[in-house]
Amino acid sequence: MIKLVGKPASPGYAIGQAFLISYQEAESAVAEKTDLETQLKLFESAISTSKRQIKELIESGNLSKTEIDILNFQNEVLNDEVFIDKIRSYIKNGMGVENAIKTSFNESIDELSEAKSEYLKERIEDLQDLMTRLINNITSKNEPLNLPKSESIIVSKIITPSIFASIDKEVILGIVTEEGGTTSHVAIMAKERGIPMIVGVSGILNKIKNGDIIVLDGYNGEVIVNPAEQQLLAYKTRLEEVRVISQEFEKYLGTKAYTVDGTYIKVQANVGNEDDLTSAANVKAEGIGLLRTEFLYLERTNAPTYEDLSKLFKKASESFASDEVIVRVLDIGGDKLPPYINLEPEANPFLGLRGIRLMLKNRELLKEQIKAVAVSNIKGNLKVMLPMVSDYDEIVESKKVLEEVEEELKKENKQFIVPELGIMIETPSAASMADVMSEVSDFFSIGTNDLTQYILAADRGNKNVSYLYDDLHPSVLRAIKDVVNKAKRPVGVCGEMASEPLAIPLLIGLGIRKLSVNPPRVLATKMLISKIDKSEASELAEMSLDMKTADQVKQLIKEYYEKKKIKFI
Amino acid sequence: MGGKNGRNSYKFRITLKNKLGLHARPASIFVETTKKFKSKISLIKNGKAVDAKSIIGVLSLGVSQGDEIEVICEGEDAKETTETLKNLIERLGEFQ
């Protein structure tokens, strides 16, 4: 039995037999043995074979949009005559066909790695994938890649988007690779399909052979090879536990979640588009704690009209007629803008003109949104929530817009109900001034993702400092406690923290009684709440507030769960 | 405007206003369009020139929102090419 460790790239557990996919390294045998003319012919043939393979993959109908976009880009490169001619000229200069390909590709890859844009850097992976495909088509003479036919755990040096696209997804139980990153295209595609994946396991190809029994823990990044009988049993039990726990979810459908000692915690859903809304209704979430509106605004050339908005809001209002539906005002900024909103380039978009600040400078857009909510508010359950509030005056100004909307709708003789107005608490200033904000807000929802970033002053997307981002950090817990203490209005949490098993006891212990989570997490969250004792949770919260680091807090909660034998996913 | 060897040469400078600049889909559309013309088309940013019919070339130039570029077209359909491309770049925001 060997235990190997890598980086978890896609969550889940898997147990199965290893299937090694060999990533063919090109040998230069071809270059030495053939003349220039043959090499050029081999190259042309490899290009047309590659184009054909890509076309077949795209037309297979099994691919997701992400996979298709990647392959389309690769096709464009194959049709880039300037680039392909460069390779031809390298071949004519005697470089050898594989070297010519590698050199040209690497030159372009080097240029792209200097780029500031994330999009360009991502294309590097696609170019490497294409380079491999071309070289394989030269050296392996159209031999198909050795692919698994029965359920297996795939083990490889690296899985490229092309290889992933070619494997029958039904047979992939899990993936382990020696190289690759957790944010690579394949990691994203594995996550989309719910396939557990671990990357960065050094030396894995020397340690695993075909047919070895593998246990893959995509949550912790552990790979167990040929576990002893007892261990295998333990892992199979865990796998079964996970399966059973997910089945247990059904019990919680349509129920209210109470802690062991009888405290009711409301569980709502976060939705970002129409599909989410349907999912939320299917799992009978107790309302929508966060209705994100960005999808209605981005990827269009002009702003949605108030009819466009009303259509969605009415649907949401009716689907959750007996619960609240909280519509968040458009929350965008310099990092992601639609073409019809103008903004000067900013050095620090996350500290810049975004959220309510941007909306107050685009008052007509703000007014249109609030108007749409008011006329859609047939059941009286729609509410408006302002994002990124950092100052009292922002709320006062927004309430003026609400009054103007009321005036206009009265004049137009339209039916409407004035919605409640609340705010996201996601800036440190709003968090510490919940008492003052209570004077002009009807409710609060803590956006723990951004709040955590601002409190710890770390960008979770920056790999050099992402280790600092942790919503279990005592500083974040202290801020939440501050909000709960000072707020004179209902406080909910709609950030990722609301669905994190390690955080839920703390939120309950700190006094939060409303959690809004992604639809797939609604039932799991209710189930976990029903296993927690509120008075114990309060003790845990008190202890956590005095801890020094997020790791200490995590350790405390893990020990609690172990002691109480609480299982969760 | 006459050019070298008596060939037609037209050019223009423009600043990219759309959010994505010449990345992603806008780049693909730009290159797809340039390939339709006979003229030789050069795309220049900060003194570096690439062939505008090459997706790799265009991407490697790293043209972002706010960058100024120059487009030079040489060939029998140079005038038509510059007009079409200028128009396209101005409308790139629609393709995001």
Enumerate the H helices of A218-325 as residue ranges: 229-248, 274-282, 294-297, 306-319
pLDDT band at A25 (very low <50, low <70, confident <90, very high): low
> What pLDDT score was predicted for residue B3?
41
> What pLDDT score was predicted for residue A124?
87
Among residues A70, A477, A494, A523, which one is catalytic?
Answer: A494
Q: Is residue A178 part of a domain?
A: no
CA dihedral B82, B88, B90, B95 (to 10 degrees): -160
Paired sense of beta strands A13-21 and A213-217, if any: antiparallel
pLDDT band at B2 (very low <50, low <70, confident <90, very high): very low
Other Cβ atoms less than 10 A from the Cβ of A122: the count is 16
Joined tokens for residue A103: 């050199």
* String of DSSP letters for A475-490: HHHHHHHHHHHH-SS-
Task: Give the mean pLDDT of chain A.
Answer: 90
Other Cβ atoms less than 10 A from the Cβ of A521: the count is 23
Q: Which residue in A has a C-alpha nearest to residue B24's C-alpha?
A: A119
> What pLDDT score was predicted for residue A269?
96
How is domain B4-95 classified at the CATH fold level?
Histidine-containing Protein; Chain: A; (3.30.1340)
A97-113 and A118-139 helices cross at what angle (nearest 10)?
170
Distance from CA of B60 to the nearest CA of A (A): 6
Kindly list the residues of chain A whose beta carbon comes within 8 Å of any beta carbon in chain B.
73, 76-77, 79-83, 108, 111-112, 114-117, 119-120, 123, 299, 301, 336-339, 345
Question: Half-sphere exposure of A116 toward its Cβ, with a 13 Å CA cutoff?
Answer: 7
pLDDT band at B70 (very low <50, low <70, confident <90, very high): very high
Q: Is residue A504 part of a domain?
A: yes
How far, in Å, CA of B92 to CA of B85, rounded? 10
Q: Is residue A231 part of a domain?
A: no
> What pLDDT score was predicted for residue A289?
98
Interface test with A, best of B29, B55, B68 (most A CBs within 10 A): B55
How far, in Å, CA of A359 to CA of A366, rounded? 6
Q: Is residue A78 part of a domain?
A: yes
Lowest mean pLDDT among A184-193, A227-236, A320-329, A510-519: A184-193
Q: Which residue in the set A73, A117, A337 is minimally distant from B62, CB to CB? A: A117
Looking at per-residue pLDDT, the higher value among A385 and A295 belongs to A385
> Which of A123, A139, A155 lies at the terminal end of a domain, its last residue?
A139
Residue A428 has pLDDT above 50, yes or no: yes
A339·B60 Cβ contact <8 A: no
Q: Which residue in the set B18, B51, B65 is minimally distant from A345, CB to CB? A: B65
Per CB-CB distance under 8 Å, the chain B contacts of A345 are 65-66
**Mean pLDDT value of segment A170-197:** 85
Q: Say which residues have a Cβ less than 8 Å from residue A42's Cβ, sequence separation at least 6.
A: A30, A34, A97, A138
Q: Decide: helix, strand or coil at residue A285.
A: coil
B23·A117 Cβ contact <8 A: yes
Taking one residue from A and the other from B, the number of pairs with CB-CB distance under 8 angstroms is 59
Nearest CA to A323 out of A245, A394, A400, A271 is that of A271
For chain B, the structural domain boundaries read 4-95
pLDDT digits (tens, 9 = 90+) for A265-324: 999 999 988 878 888 998 899 999 999 999 889 867 788 988 889 999 999 999 999 999
Interface pTM, i.e. ipTM: 0.86
Which residues of B are part of the catalytic machinery? 23
Q: Is A367:A404 a contact under the CB 8 Å cutoff?
A: yes
How far from A265 is each of A260, A348, A513, B63, CA to CA, in Å? 11, 38, 5, 51
How far, in Å, CA of A151 to CA of A233, rounded? 19
Nearest CA to A476 out of A515, A435, A425 is that of A425
How far, in Å, CA of A64 to CA of A82, rounded? 30
CATH code (residue A271): 3.20.20.60
Question: Half-sphere exposure of B11 toward its Cβ, with a 13 Å CA cutoff?
Answer: 15
Percent above pLDDT 90 for chain A: 62
**Mean pLDDT value of segment B25-42:** 92
Q: Which residues pair with B12 in a beta bridge?
A: B71
- Domains held by chain A: number: 2
> What pLDDT score was predicted for residue B1?
42
Q: Which residue in the set A108, A336, A337 is minimally distant from B56, CB to CB? A: A108
pLDDT digits (tens, 9 = 90+) for A347-366: 888 999 999 999 999 999 99
CATH code (residue A33): 1.10.274.10
Distance from CA of B96 to the nearest CA of A (A): 6
Distance from CA of B42 to the nearest CA of A (A): 12
Residue type at B14?
A: I
Per CB-CB distance under 8 Å, the chain A contacts of B21 are 117
Task: Give the mean pLDDT of chain B.
Answer: 86
Angle at the Cα of A345 (from A343 to A347), degrees rounded to 5?
130
Residue A370 has pLDDT above 50, yes or no: yes
- Residue keyed to tokens 């909510």: A373
Q: Is A195:A8 a contact under the CB 8 Å cutoff?
A: no
How far, in Å, CA of A165 to CA of A142, rounded? 17
Q: Which residues pair with A336 in a beta bridge?
A: A333
Residue A385 has pLDDT above 70, yes or no: yes
Q: Say which residues have a Cβ less than 8 Å from residue A501's Cβ, sequence separation at least 6.
A: A528, A561, A568, A569
The distance from CA A468 to its chain's CA centroid, rounded to whole angstroms, is: 18
Q: Is A32:A229 a contact under the CB 8 Å cutoff?
A: no
Looking at per-residue pLDDT, the higher value among A394 and A133 belongs to A394
pLDDT digits (tens, 9 = 90+) for A439-481: 999 999 999 999 999 999 999 878 789 899 999 999 999 999 9
Looking at per-residue pLDDT, the higher value among A146 and A16 belongs to A16
Q: Is residue A569 part of a domain?
A: no
Per CB-CB distance under 8 Å, the chain B contacts of A335 are none
Q: Decide: helix, strand or coil at residue A142.
A: coil
Q: Say which residues have a Cβ less than 8 Å from residue B4's Cβ, sequence separation at least 6.
A: B74
B55·A77 Cβ contact <8 A: yes
Based on the residue annotation, tell me whether A394 is a catalytic residue of this protein.
no
Q: Which residue in A has a C-alpha nearest to residue B94's C-alpha?
A: A301
Interface test with B, best of A73, A119, A134, A341 (most B CBs within 10 A): A119
Q: Residue A31 is part of which domain span?
A: 23-139
Percent above pLDDT 90 for chain B: 59
pLDDT band at A161 (very low <50, low <70, confident <90, very high): confident
Q: Is residue A211 part of a domain?
A: no
> Which of A139, A160, A192 lies at the terminal end of a domain, its last residue?
A139
Q: Decide: helix, strand or coil at residue A18.
A: strand
pLDDT digits (tens, 9 = 90+) for A479-508: 999 999 999 999 999 998 998 999 999 999
Q: Which residue in the set B18, B51, B56 is minimally distant from A339, CB to CB? A: B18
> Which of A122, A139, A156 lies at the terminal end of a domain, its last residue?
A139
How far, in Å, CA of A420 to CA of A414, rounded? 18
Q: Which residue in the set A83, A112, A120 is minimally distant from B54, CB to CB? A: A83
pLDDT band at B4 (very low <50, low <70, confident <90, very high): very low
Joined tokens for residue A132: 């491999």
Q: Is residue A227 part of a domain?
A: no
Q: Which residue in A has a C-alpha nearest to residue B52's C-alpha?
A: A82
**Mean pLDDT value of segment B48-70:** 91
Q: Which residue in A has a C-alpha nearest to residue B51's C-alpha?
A: A82
A76·B31 Cβ contact <8 A: yes
Percent above pLDDT 70 for chain A: 96
How far from A48 is each of A142, A184, A345, CA to CA, in Å? 12, 27, 43
Nearest CA to A110 out of A93, A132, A89, A127 is that of A127
Q: Which residue in the set A79, A119, A339 is minimally distant from B24, CB to CB? A: A119
Per CB-CB distance under 8 Å, the chain A contacts of B91 are none
pLDDT band at A559 (very low <50, low <70, confident <90, very high): very high
| Judgement on whether residues A336 and A472 belong to the same structural domain of the protein | yes
Percent above pLDDT 70 for chain B: 90
In our burial notation (b when 16+ CB lie closer than 10 A, e otherwise), range B41-53 reads bbbbbeeeebbbb
> What pLDDT score was predicted for residue A1?
85
> What pLDDT score was predicted for residue A33?
62
- Residue keyed to tokens 């040998």: A27
Based on the residue annotation, tell me whether A494 is a catalytic residue of this protein.
yes
How far, in Å, CA of B86 to CA of B71, rounded? 9
Burial of A216 (0-12, 13-18, 19+ CB in 10 A): buried
> What pLDDT score was predicted for residue A31?
52
pLDDT digits (tens, 9 = 90+) for A514-534: 999 988 789 989 999 999 999
Among residues A185, A266, A328, A481, which one is catalytic?
Answer: A185
**Mean pLDDT value of segment A422-450:** 97
Per CB-CB distance under 8 Å, the chain B contacts of A336 are 19
> What pLDDT score was predicted for residue B79?
92
Lowest mean pLDDT among A100-114, A234-248, A416-430, B52-66: A234-248
The distance from CA B28 to its chain's CA centroid, rounded to whole angstroms, is: 12
Interface test with B, best of A120, A298, A336 (most B CBs within 10 A): A120
Whether the pTM exceeds 0.95: the reply is no
Q: Is A12:A195 a contact under the CB 8 Å cutoff?
A: yes
Looking at per-residue pLDDT, the higher value among B79 and A144 belongs to B79
Other Cβ atoms less than 10 A from the Cβ of A340: the count is 13
Per CB-CB distance under 8 Å, the chain A contacts of B66 are 345
pLDDT band at A32 (very low <50, low <70, confident <90, very high): low
**Mean pLDDT value of segment A140-155:** 78
pLDDT band at A438 (very low <50, low <70, confident <90, very high): very high
